[in-house]
Amino acid sequence: MPTLDLPDAALDYDLSGDAGPLVVQLHGLNSSRERDERIGLDLGRALRGHRVLRYDARGHGRSSGGTDPRSYTWPRLADDLLALLDVVAPGERVHGLGPSMGSGTLLHAAVRHPERFASLTLAIPPTAWTTRRAQAATYLANAELVEREGLAAFVARAEEAGAPPALADAPLTDPSVPEELLPTVLRGAAATDLPEPEALRELDVPTLVLAWSDDAGHPLSTAALLHELLDDSRLVVARTPYGIMAWPGLFADHVATAGALTARS
């Protein structure tokens, strides 16, 4: 697999397809492109006629990362994304897809450089603004738990909390972050947030918001507020595993529609 070497990380990525517009697919906190495939969140699988760029965020999956929590905040991850796009697709407008942490990364990148994105798909947007403080406290407590009792205790706590209804059929998976790095990654997540609402109101990129129900870490309140803030957006909520099964097709349709608009502009 190719890698992008940065001063404090190496990003592992893959590029499939020989022609067509580029789609860049991110993943969520403690996940990876391989883990997303296992739990049914590889949403690009219905695309046709596109190149698809997938990569593991720093410290996740096959990518390396440093020990500074600040390097795992969403603005820093947006730096990584933009650097990767400059190498793989310099000057191109791309379609961005990201669940959870990937949504935060995409929004920070798009607010900074909206001209780089033909469309956005924000899957299971995470806690933000008023709900972020409580989630940050949870991340900090989990970082201390891993340091005190190890990865097994962290996994056990996640299993006790249970999965949202839409993931009822998904297999149980361990985090895609090394145990020794996990507390740092969690502290970085605790120190970050989405861009300010005023900045998102100015963002003019066709956006699909895909949410699921009954998940405190990915509340419907964030998805609804993003739908309100982003003028050109659509919100779809999954309440069962069948809802998740529809997401790849919805994503492919969104990319095709946005791509047609881009071609005419």
How many Å apart are CA 100 and CA 72, to the nearest integer? 14
User: What percent of the chain has pLDDT above 70?
Assistant: 99
CA 235 to chain centre: 16
* pLDDT tens-place string over residues 148-168: 999 999 999 988 888 899 998
Q: Considering just the CA atoms, what is the radius of gyration of the chain in Å?
A: 17
Note the pLDDT of residue 185: 98
pLDDT band at 170 (very low <50, low <70, confident <90, very high): confident
Q: Which domains does the chain have, with CATH numbers?
A: 3-258 (3.40.50.1820)
Query: Helices 74-88 and 101-112, interaxial angle, to 10°?
Result: 70
- Greater pLDDT, 146 or 160: 146
Bridging pattern class, strands 51-55 and 22-25:
parallel
Are 227 and 209 a contacting pair, CB within 8 Å? yes
Asked if pLDDT for residue 265 goes beyond 70, the answer is no
Asked if pLDDT for residue 262 goes beyond 80, the answer is no
How confident is the prediction for the chain on average, in pLDDT?
95
pLDDT band at 259 (very low <50, low <70, confident <90, very high): confident
pLDDT band at 1 (very low <50, low <70, confident <90, very high): confident
How many Å apart are CA 148 and CA 12, to the nearest integer? 30
- Report in angstroms the alpha-carbon separations of 24 from 82, 89, 128, 204, 205: 11, 10, 23, 19, 15
Enter the tokens of residue 229: 């803030």
Asked if pLDDT for residue 18 goes beyond 90, the answer is no
Note the pLDDT of residue 159: 87
How many Å apart are CA 230 and CA 241, to the nearest integer? 27
* pLDDT tens-place string over residues 102-113: 999 999 999 999
Mapping DSSP to helix (H, G, I), strand (E, B) and coil, where does residue 24 land?
A: strand
How many Å apart are CA 145 and CA 138, to the nearest integer? 10
Number of Cβ atoms within 10 Å of the Cβ of 253:
12
* pLDDT tens-place string over residues 21-38: 999 999 999 999 999 999
- H-type helices in the chain, by residue range? 33-38, 74-88, 101-112, 132-149, 151-161, 182-190, 197-201, 220-229, 241-245, 247-264
Bridging pattern class, strands 117-123 and 22-25:
unpaired
Kindly state the average pLDDT of the residues 260-264. Answer: 74
Counting every residue written for the chain, the total comes to: 265
Note the pLDDT of residue 172: 84
